[in-house]
C-alpha cells in the first residue's frame, strides 16, 4: 500500500513537471532529525547505551490546487516504514460565510500541541499525558472532515469554532482475547468466520473553540477548549471522551527575545469493556483520570532558546496513580529551521500503584537532535 502510494505520488510529480514546470509543481520540503540518545529506562532494549538514530524523516508536498484550495501531503519515513502522516485538502475561500473545509488525513486540532509536528517543538518527546489520554499511538491522527468558522469577536480578537467528523479508527482499543475466552462465548471471534464487531469503527467527533488576542504591539495570548468523543469498542458500545483546555502566551521583551508559556489540562472519560463469560454480556468499567503539562521556553539573541517543562497526570487505569515528569531543553538554530541543534533531558517519575511494593523507578532520558530541512520555509504561525 505504502509502495503504491509513493509510486503514485512520484508518477504524478514526474508527469506534472515537464507539462507545466514552475507553474504546478508543489513546494517540496524534507525534514530530517537524526538524534543521539541515552536512557536508563529498563523497559527499553538498549537502555544505558548511547543510541544513534536517524529519526523520522518527513517529506512535505504542498501547493495551491486552484484559487480556492490548497493541498498538502506529508510522508513520514521512520524505522524503514513509509507512511502517509497527513494528506488533506483545505478549501480556503468560496464557501458561504467564510467557512473553511478541510478533508483527508490529518493531525487533529485537539488542544494546541497535537496538530504540530514534533520537530517544531523545542523538546524531544511529546508529553506523556497527551500520549496516554488522546487516541492514537503517537498522536491523535485521523481521517476526517473539518469545518471551521470565525465567530464575531471584539476588535482584532480572533475566535474560531471548529468541528471535525472523524473515521474513528484511533479510538479502537484492543481487548485481551484468548481461545479459551472465545470458546466461552467472547464475541470477539478472530478465529472463526463472522464479523468482529469489536474491531469495527464508528465515526468520532471533535469540537474546539479557540481564541487569540494581541497583548501589546507584538505579544499574543491564545486559549482554547476542546472535546472529543469516539467509540473504542463497537460491540460493547464503549465510548472514549477527552476534554481539554489550553493556553499559550508569547511575550516579547526585546526585538530578539521572547518567552513562550504554554500549558494544557486534560480529562479522560473512558469506558473499558470486558466480556463476562458467566453472564455472557459486556461489562464496562469507567476510568476518569486527569492531568496536564506546562512548559516555558525562552528564546533570545534570535538563535538560542532554553526552557523547562513539567507534567503531572493520573494513570488511565483503576489505580489512577499520579505520574510526574520534569524536563530541561535548549537549542541553537543557525538559520531558522534549516539547521537546528536541540538538547533535551527528561526525568519521568511513575506513580506507585497501591498493590505494588512501593518502589517506582524514575527514568532519565537524554537526547541531542539535529533538525535540518531543505525546501521552502513557511512563516511561523503563532
40-79 binders of other proteins (CB under 8 A): 70
| Residues 6+ away with beta carbon under 8 Å from 5 | 82, 84
Site string for other proteins, 294-333 (x = CB under 8 A): -------xxx------------------------------
Nearer Cβ to other proteins (113/325): 113
Among 41, 53, 138, 149, binds other proteins (CB under 8 A): 149
Q: How far is the CB of 235 from other proteins (least distance, A)?
A: 5
Question: For residue 358, with 0-12 CB atoms within 10 Å meaning exposed, 13-18 middle and 19 or more buried, which class applies?
Answer: exposed
Q: Is 283 in the site for other proteins (CB under 8 A)?
A: yes
Q: How far is the CB of 158 from other proteins (least distance, A)?
A: 3
Nearer Cβ to other proteins (94/362): 94
Residues 323-382 interacting with other proteins (rule: CB under 8 A)? 334-336, 338, 374, 376, 378-382
Q: How far is the CB of 322 from other proteins (least distance, A)?
A: 28
Q: 159 and 152 in contact (C-beta within 8 Å)?
A: yes
Q: 66 and 54 in contact (C-beta within 8 Å)?
A: no
Site string for other proteins, 87-106 (x = CB under 8 A): -----xxxxxxxxx------
Nearer Cβ to other proteins (164/311): 164
Please state, in angstroms and as integers, the Cα–Cα distance from residue 282 to each residue in 201, 234, 279, 332, following that order: 17, 11, 9, 54
DSSP for 88-104?
Answer: EEEE-SSSGGG-EEEEE
Strand partners, 57: 77
Q: Is 115 in the site for other proteins (CB under 8 A)?
A: no
Site string for other proteins, 242-261 (x = CB under 8 A): -------------xx-----
Neighbouring CB atoms inside 10 A of 189's CB total 15
Residue 269 corresponds to which cell in the numbers above? 472519560
Q: Is 163 in the site for other proteins (CB under 8 A)?
A: yes
Q: Is 23 in the site for other proteins (CB under 8 A)?
A: no
Chain CA centroid to CA 152, Å = 29
Position of cell 468520532?
204
Q: In angstroms, how far is the first alpha carbon of the chain from the final one?
A: 36
Position of cell 466480556?
275
Q: Determine the Cα–Cα distance for residues 298 and 33; give it in Å rounded to an integer.
A: 22
Number of residues that bind other proteins (CB under 8 A): 72
Nearer Cβ to other proteins (7/161): 161
Q: How far is the CB of 308 from other proteins (least distance, A)?
A: 23
Q: How far is the CB of 337 from other proteins (least distance, A)?
A: 12
* Integer Rg of the chain from CA: 23
Residue 30 corresponds to which cell in the numbers above? 524534507
Residues 173-232 interacting with other proteins (rule: CB under 8 A)? 185, 187, 195, 197, 202-205, 207, 212-214, 217-218, 220, 222, 229-231
Q: How far is the CB of 257 from other proteins (least distance, A)?
A: 11
Amino acid at each position: 500500500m505504502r509502495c503504491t502510494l509513493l509510486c503514485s505520488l512520484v508518477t504524478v510529480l514526474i508527469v506534472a513537471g515537464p507539462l507545466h514546470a514552475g507553474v504546478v509543481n508543489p513546494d517540496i520540503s524534507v525534514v530530517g532529525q537524526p538524534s543521539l540518545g541515552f536512557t536508563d529506562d529498563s523497559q527499553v532494549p538498549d537502555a544505558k547505551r548511547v543510541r544513534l538514530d536517524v529519526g523520522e524523516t518527513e517529506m512535505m508536498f504542498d501547493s495551491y490546487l486552484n484559487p480556492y484550495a490548497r493541498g498538502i501531503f506529508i510522508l513520514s519515513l521512520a524505522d524503514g516504514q513509509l507512511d502517509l502522516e497527513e494528506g488533506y485538502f483545505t478549501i480556503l475561500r468560496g464557501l458561504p460565510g467564510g467557512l473553511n473545509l478541510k478533508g483527508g488525513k490529518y493531525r487533529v486540532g485537539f488542544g494546541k500541541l497535537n496538530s504540530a509536528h514534533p520537530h517544531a517543538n523545542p523538546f524531544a518527546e511529546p508529553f506523556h499525558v497527551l500520549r496516554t489520554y488522546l487516541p492514537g499511538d503517537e498522536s491523535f491522527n485521523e481521517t476526517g472532515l473539518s469545518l471551521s468558522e470565525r465567530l464575531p469577536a471584539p476588535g482584532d480578537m480572533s475566535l474560531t469554532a471548529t468541528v471535525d467528523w472523524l473515521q474513528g479508527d484511533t479510538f479502537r482499543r484492543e481487548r485481551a482475547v484468548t481461545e479459551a475466552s472465545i470458546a466461552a462465548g467472547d464475541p470477539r471471534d478472530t478465529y472463526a468466520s463472522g464479523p468482529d464487531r469489536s474491531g469495527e469503527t464508528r465515526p468520532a467527533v471533535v469540537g474546539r473553540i479557540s481564541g487569540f488576542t494581541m497583548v501589546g504591539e507584538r505579544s499574543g495570548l491564545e486559549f482554547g477548549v476542546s472535546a472529543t468523543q469516539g467509540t473504542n469498542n463497537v460491540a460493547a458500545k464503549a465510548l472514549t471522551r477527552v476534554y481539554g483546555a489550553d493556553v499559550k502566551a508569547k511575550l516579547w521583551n526585546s526585538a530578539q527575545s521572547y518567552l513562550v508559556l504554554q500549558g494544557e489540562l486534560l480529562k479522560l472519560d473512558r469506558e473499558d469493556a470486558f466480556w463476562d463469560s458467566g453472564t455472557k454480556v459486556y461489562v464496562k468499567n469507567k476510568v476518569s483520570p486527569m492531568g496536564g503539562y506546562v512548559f516555558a521556553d525562552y528564546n533570545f539573541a534570535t538563535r538560542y532558546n532554553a526552557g523547562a517543562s513539567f507534567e503531572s497526570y493520573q494513570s488511565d487505569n483503576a489505580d489512577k496513580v499520579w505520574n510526574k515528569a520534569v524536563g530541561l531543553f535548549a537549542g541553537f538554530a543557525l538559520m531558522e529551521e534549516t539547521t537546528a541543534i536541540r538538547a533535551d533531558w527528561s526525568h519521568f517519575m511513575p506513580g506507585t500503584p497501591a498493590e505494588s511494593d512501593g518502589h517506582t523507578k524514575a527514568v532519565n532520558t537524554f537526547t541531542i537532535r539535529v533538525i535540518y530541512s531543505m525546501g521552502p520555509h513557511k512563516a511561523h504561525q503563532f
